[in-house]
């Protein structure tokens, strides 16, 4: 690819994302909707102007990882730990029920094969941590108690989803699925989450030390981006999703992160501010590329809209997808508005669902019609729930706890 | 390419660049030398750890364009215009003499073909505006009078080099080279340089207006990067080097840029500060990637060090390369130390020279040995002249005019 073609694609993506984000903002909609729409309009669904080249895809990946880094940076680890049990309940409910419902719709209602039905169930388990985190950030609720529950649940969901995906994939390849395999994956992911923030914290102390002695500008953006990339790579290496590496790195650099064994490594608020100030422009540059990419990946033209199957199938799955995610938070002790908000926040399947569906199509487990049905469900859940969240927040804002922003 | 491989390569590049830049800084050498060295060490010359994938190359391109944007942003257009006539003399001397000397060495001393000799001369005309601008910035002399002369001369040199390259390329393809063709290229480049800053200025007014009304963060990094990419693309479209588009965009947004026909578009110092503050981290992230790439592109192992030809040939060209560039500034009326500094600043061939040599190899005009000789000259001029500049500045600092930094 010639560099000037790449520049043109990149600038069209950045500018269109911005224009539609501004429009969404004026219409009081979450800006991420505008960015997704920009992708749908630029992509094969409508204009076909921007083709996602490899370089753009990789920059989009950096974008989503940096967004998770920003979310981690703003997270209070103590609050996240407090939200832990509730997050676990929400995640388990939002994982188990969509899986069962999705499988049932496929296997019993539409008489599909066992493997196809399992894949449909698996795709419905996903929660788009990217979309959810972005909507919470747009609404300034990512530091709020329910924001922390949602975030924790979305992370756990992502981890469970990846484990399930790995198992289904091995299953489809005809290899034996053993409990030992599954246990190994879970163990690796868990140890990553225990060790990564500690390691990131130690490295940030080194960066801080260099920052006070160096005269060469640009230390923070280069080293912090390197740190985030390193943990994304480590996460992948340990079998966890890459974007969780970004979150772990952000968590370690957050103002309130503390290590149990050392007071010498206490967070330095002014360094944390330096990081936030210098990283924000970089994050804001890369993040929209990701959401435009999600829109670009949807090809609404591929769908045969005249077939009755597609309407009935996707409608049934849509119901399964929404009910499955709303049920989890009903099991925790929170005011009703909070439960609804948490449930709604878990609905978007976004990029994680797309990864599942794409893998199903590539391995020929999902045929074109079923794939199209999945895509409709992923698109609708992704596009509609930010609106629903915004509406719920508008309706119940007076009854929610105030966000504790430090 | 898998995204985790890409993350690993990118973080190795960023971290190694930083480590060697810090080392260079401690040894009082220009930091750009450290970044070039990082590339040589990581690349095929030594470790072979980092291979420049397409995505990294494109990010490196963004890096050099953003650096030129930063240089443009810090440039005072009036000062640049004042330096104009002197720049032109330096550029013409530094273009004509190396071309003649390089051609003579090839054609008469080493008895090479006409086309090969022309290509050797053409390669020697290049001035690495990237390296030169970076060294001046490192030494904080890019706003000084001699810095403006150097910058103007390097830009003119780049334009002339590209025109020459286009002509030699058509010549080597067997097409007729007409004066009309050459004139067309020159006219396009000239009109780009007259129109681009005006257009960029008008766009920046729109961005500034949105900036005062929007509530969505991230306007400056996305729109300014888009603006820079747009002008890089336009520059290419008009036949000028892409990095000059970055410079034109920066010039238009500089604090002292003015349009002849309107007082309503006067520069807003606080908006210029916003741009500088938010763009710096982005620029500092991308720029080192470029200089590491230049180091990665050199393969010192490809050279047959035992052949006497390579030593004699590259020594002869090296002398031609240095004398050719030092002669130009001797024709202008400046104190002697300034003349020496300007001449030395024009010596590095860097990325522009590499582009010439690479094209010569691809079109089989330069065989492997001659190519290796050119690479040695490009590497030596690029690596040594920053040291020489630093030494000259150290020796004569008390006799130079102070930089006027606003």
Q: Coil, strand, or helix at residue B398?
A: helix
Q: Coil, strand, or helix at residue B327?
A: helix
Retrieve residue A73's tokens: 């940076």
Tell me the Cα Rg of chain B: 21
Q: Among 3.40.640.10, 1.10.510.10, 2.30.42.10, 1.20.1530.20, name the CATH number for the domain at A3-50+61-399.
A: 1.20.1530.20
DSSP tag of B215: -
Residue A216 forms contact with B (CB below 8 Å): yes
Retrieve residue B170's tokens: 């058509």
For the ranges A151-160, A200-209, B182-191, B315-324, the maximum mean pLDDT occurs at B315-324
Contact at CB, B230 and A11, closer than 8 angstroms: yes
Q: Span B199-219, mean pLDDT? A: 80
Predicted local confidence at residue A274, as pLDDT? 83
Label residue A85 by pLDDT band (50, 70, 90).
confident
What is the least distance, in Å, from the CA of A67 to any CA of chain B?
Answer: 13
From the number of C-beta atoms within 10 Å of its C-beta (0-12, 13-18, 19+), residue B329 rates as buried
What is the least distance, in Å, from the CA of A82 to any CA of chain B?
Answer: 30
Look-up: residue for tokens 């001046």?
Answer: B136
Q: Which of B210, B202, B194 is nearest to B264 (CA)?
A: B202
What is the least distance, in Å, from the CA of B351 to any CA of chain A?
Answer: 15
Q: Is residue A346 a contact partner of residue A150, using CB atoms and an 8 Å limit?
A: yes
Evaluated on CA atoms A216, A218, A220, A225, the torsion sign reads: negative
Q: Range with the lowest mean pLDDT among A257-261, B194-198, B389-393?
A: A257-261
Q: Write out pLDDT tens, residues A294-303.
A: 778 767 777 7
Q: Write out pLDDT tens, residues A112-127.
A: 888 888 888 888 887 8
Q: Is residue B131 a contact partner of residue B196, using CB atoms and an 8 Å limit?
A: no
Q: Is the pLDDT of residue B405 over 70?
A: no
Q: Is residue A344 a contact partner of residue A326, using CB atoms and an 8 Å limit?
A: yes
pTM of the model: 0.79
What is the least distance, in Å, from the CA of B35 to any CA of chain A?
Answer: 12
Residues in chain B within 8 Å Cβ distance of A233: 4, 7-8, 11
Q: Span B197-201, mean pLDDT? A: 77
Predicted local confidence at residue A245, as pLDDT? 81
Contact at CB, A284 and B55, closer than 8 angstroms: no
Predicted local confidence at residue A403, as pLDDT? 47
Residue B311 forms contact with A (CB below 8 Å): no
Q: Write out pLDDT tens, residues B138-191.
A: 777 777 778 888 888 887 777 677 667 667 766 666 555 566 666 766 777 777
Contact at CB, B285 and A232, closer than 8 angstroms: no
Phi-psi label, residue A144: left if phi above 0, alpha if psi -120 to 50, beta otherwise: beta
Report the distance separating Cα B40 and Cα B18, nearest Å: 14
Q: Is the pLDDT of residue A178 over 70?
A: no
**CATH fold for the domain made of B59-290+307-399:** Na+/H+ antiporter like fold (1.20.1530)
Q: Is residue B346 a contact partner of residue B156, using CB atoms and an 8 Å limit?
A: no
Label residue A177 by pLDDT band (50, 70, 90).
low
Residue A55 forms contact with B (CB below 8 Å): yes
Label residue A259 by pLDDT band (50, 70, 90).
low
Residue B210 forms contact with A (CB below 8 Å): yes
Predicted local confidence at residue B334, as pLDDT? 77
Predicted local confidence at residue B14, as pLDDT? 92
Q: What percent of chain B has pLDDT over 90?
A: 5
Which H or E element spans position B51? none
Q: Which residues touch B358 (CB under 8 Å, ≥6 apart)?
A: B297
Query: Diameter of chain A by CA atoms?
Result: 68
CA angle (B316, B321, B326) in 5-degree steps? 125
Residue A220 forms contact with B (CB below 8 Å): yes
Contact at CB, B31 and A216, closer than 8 angstroms: yes
Residue B342 forms contact with A (CB below 8 Å): no
What is the least distance, in Å, from the CA of B14 to any CA of chain A?
Answer: 6
Q: Which residues touch B182 (CB under 8 Å, ≥6 apart)?
A: B163, B167
In terms of pLDDT, which residue wins out, B120 or A179? Answer: B120
From B3, B14, B59, residue closest to A61, measured CB to CB: B3
As a whole number, the mean pLDDT across chain A is 78
What is the DSSP code string of A196-251?
A: HHHHHHHHHHHHHHHHHH--SS-HHHHHHHHHHHHHHHHHHHTTS-HHHHHHHHHH
Residues in chain B within 8 Å Cβ distance of A279: 281
Report the distance separating Cα B339 and Cα B392, nearest Å: 11
CB burial readout A219-230, b (16+ within 10 A) else e: bbbbbbbbbbbb
Residue A42 forms contact with B (CB below 8 Å): no
Residue A278 forms contact with B (CB below 8 Å): yes
Contact at CB, B237 and A4, closer than 8 angstroms: yes
Q: Is residue B102 a contact partner of residue B321, using CB atoms and an 8 Å limit?
A: yes
Residue B260 forms contact with A (CB below 8 Å): no
Contact at CB, A230 and B6, closer than 8 angstroms: no
Query: Could you tell me what percentage of chain B is helix, strand and coil, using 3-state DSSP and rounding each to the nearest 5?
Result: 80, 0, 20
Look-up: residue for tokens 């400056």?
Answer: B220
What is the least distance, in Å, from the CA of B233 to any CA of chain A?
Answer: 5
CA atoms within 13 A on the CB side of A345: 35
What is the least distance, in Å, from the CA of A283 to any CA of chain B?
Answer: 8
Retrieve residue A320's tokens: 């399964």
Say how many CB pairs under 8 Å bridge A and B.
157
What is the least distance, in Å, from the CA of A24 to any CA of chain B?
Answer: 10
Predicted local confidence at residue B267, as pLDDT? 58
Query: Diameter of chain B by CA atoms?
Result: 68
For the ranges B90-99, B180-189, B224-233, B324-333, the maximum mean pLDDT occurs at B224-233
From B3, B216, B279, residue closest to A242, measured CB to CB: B3
Q: Span B122-145, mean pLDDT? A: 78
Label residue B404 by pLDDT band (50, 70, 90).
very low
Residue A279 forms contact with B (CB below 8 Å): yes
Evaluated on CA atoms A137, A138, A141, A146, the torsion sign reads: negative
Report the distance separating Cα A250 and Cα A123, nearest Å: 28
Report the distance separating Cα A162 and Cα A190, nearest Å: 13
Residue B19 forms contact with A (CB below 8 Å): no
CB burial readout A353-370, b (16+ within 10 A) else e: bbbbbbbbbeeebbeeeb
From B15, B279, B283, residue closest to A226, measured CB to CB: B15
Residue A31 forms contact with B (CB below 8 Å): yes
Evaluated on CA atoms B206, B212, B215, B219, the torsion sign reads: positive
What is the DSSP code string of A161-180?
A: HHHHHHHHHHHHTTPPP-HH
Residues in chain B within 8 Å Cβ distance of A137: none
Q: Is residue A385 a contact partner of residue A340, using CB atoms and an 8 Å limit?
A: no
CA atoms within 13 A on the CB side of B187: 6
Binding-face residues of A in 226-245 toward B, CB within 8 A: 226, 229-230, 232-233, 236-237, 242
Q: What percent of chain B has pLDDT over 70?
A: 82
What is the DSSP code string of B276-312?
A: HHHHHHHHHHHHHHHHHHHHHH--GGGS-TT-HHHHH
From B22, B232, B279, residue closest to A216, measured CB to CB: B22
Q: Write out pLDDT tens, residues A215-252.
A: 778 888 898 999 899 988 888 887 666 777 887 888 77
Which H or E element spans position B313? helix B308-327
Distance of CA A229 to the CA centre of its chain: 17
Q: Span A155-181, mean pLDDT? A: 66
Q: Which residues touch A300 (CB under 8 Å, ≥6 apart)?
A: A40, A45, A46, A379
Q: Is the pLDDT of residue A263 over 50?
A: no
Label residue B16 by pLDDT band (50, 70, 90).
very high
What is the least distance, in Å, from the CA of B303 to any CA of chain A?
Answer: 29
DSSP tag of A140: T
């Amino acid at each position: 690819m010639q560099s000037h073609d790449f520049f043109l694609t990149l600038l069209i993506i950045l500018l269109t994302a911005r224009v539609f984000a501004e429009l969404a903002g004026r219409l009081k909609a979450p800006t991420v909707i505008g960015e997704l729409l920009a992708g749908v309009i630029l992509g094969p669904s409508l204009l076909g102007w921007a083709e996602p080249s490899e370089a753009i895809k990789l920059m989009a990946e950096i974008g989503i990882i940096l967004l998770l880094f920003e979310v981690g940076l703003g997270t209070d680890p103590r609050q996240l730990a407090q939200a832990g049990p509730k997050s676990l309940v929400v995640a388990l409910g939002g994982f188990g029920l969509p899986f069962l419902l999705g499988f049932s719709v496929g296997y019993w209602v539409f008489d599909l094969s066992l493997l196809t039905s399992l894949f449909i169930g698996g795709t419905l388990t996903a929660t788009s941590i990217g979309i959810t985190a972005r909507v919470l950030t747009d609404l300034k609720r990512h530091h709020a108690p329910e924001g922390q529950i949602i975030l924790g649940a979305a992370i756990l969901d992502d981890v469970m989803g990846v484990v399930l995906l790995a198992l289904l994939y091995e299953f489809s390849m005809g290899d034996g699925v053993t409990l030992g395999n599954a246990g190994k994956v879970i163990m690796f992911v868990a140890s990553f989450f225990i060790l990564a923030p500690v390691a990131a914290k130690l490295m940030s102390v080194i960066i801080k030390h260099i920052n006070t002695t160096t005269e060469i500008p640009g230390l923070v953006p280069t080293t912090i981006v390197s740190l985030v990339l390193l943990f994304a790579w480590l996460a992948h290496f340990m079998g966890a999703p890459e974007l969780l590496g970004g979150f772990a790195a952000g968590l370690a650099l957050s103002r309130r992160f503390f290590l149990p064994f050392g007071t010498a490594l206490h967070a330095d608020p002014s360094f944390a501010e330096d990081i936030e100030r210098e990283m924000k422009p970089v994050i804001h540059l890369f993040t929209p590329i990701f959401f435009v990419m999600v829109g670009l990946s949807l090809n609404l033209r591929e769908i045969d809209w005249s077939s009755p199957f597609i309407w009935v199938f996707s409608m049934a799955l849509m119901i399964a997808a929404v009910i499955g995610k709303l049920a989890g938070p009903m099991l925790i002790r929170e005011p009703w508005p909070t439960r609804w908000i948490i449930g709604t926040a878990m609905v978007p399947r976004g990029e994680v669902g797309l990864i599942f569906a794409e893998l199903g199509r590539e391995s020929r487990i999902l045929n074109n019609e079923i794939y199209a049905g999945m895509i409709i469900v992923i698109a609708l859940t992704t596009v509609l729930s930010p609106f629903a969240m915004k509406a719920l927040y508008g309706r119940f804002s007076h009854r929610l706890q105030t966000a504790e922003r430090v």
